[in-house]
Structure formats: structure tokens, C-alpha cells
């Protein structure tokens, strides 16, 4: 899986050309806003799974 990064300031997503994570957003040029997008997706998957479990429990 390619490492995907995103900017927390402007939500611009990109795949870095080198292995080194840039500390500056190539789109809005802000410093220190770059996060790994894949980790973010894992977090979203986990939250949505918990939501489904909760909804099923509330049926009974
Ligand atoms: Zn940005």
C-alpha cells in the first residue's frame, strides 16, 4: 500500500515522491500540518464499526 499523506489545514491529499515525509504542505505551504492519511482511514473504519454494533444493540 502506498503511503498517502494529507494536510490537516487544507485536506489536500498526496503521495510523497520520496520516503521522507515533507513537513510542509505542497498545496497551502503550511508547516507541520502533514499527517498520514492511511492511519486516519483506519480510525474512521473503527469508529463506524462501533456505531454499527451500538445500533444493533439498541434494537433489542
Ligand atoms: Zn495544505
CA–centroid distance, residue 41 to ligand 1 (Å): 18
pLDDT at 53: 72
Kindly report whether the global pTM for this prediction surpasses the value 0.85.
no
Q: Where are the domains of the chain?
A: 5-59
CA–centroid distance, residue 46 to ligand 1 (Å): 26
Contact (CB, 8 A) for 33 and 22: no
Mean pLDDT per segment of 10 residues, for the chain of length 60 residues? 87 87 92 82 66 72
Pick from 34, 40, 44: nearest CA to 9: 34
pLDDT at 19: 78
CA–centroid distance, residue 49 to ligand 1 (Å): 29
Amino acid at each position: 500500500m502506498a503511503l498517502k499523506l494529507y494536510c490537516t489545514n487544507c485536506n489536500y491529499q498526496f503521495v510523497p515522491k520520496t520516503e521522507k515525509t515533507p513537513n510542509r504542505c505542497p498545496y497551502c505551504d503550511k508547516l507541520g500540518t502533514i499527517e498520514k492519511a492511511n492511519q486516519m482511514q483506519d480510525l474512521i473504519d473503527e469508529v463506524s464499526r462501533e456505531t454499527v454494533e451500538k445500533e444493533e444493540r439498541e434494537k433489542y
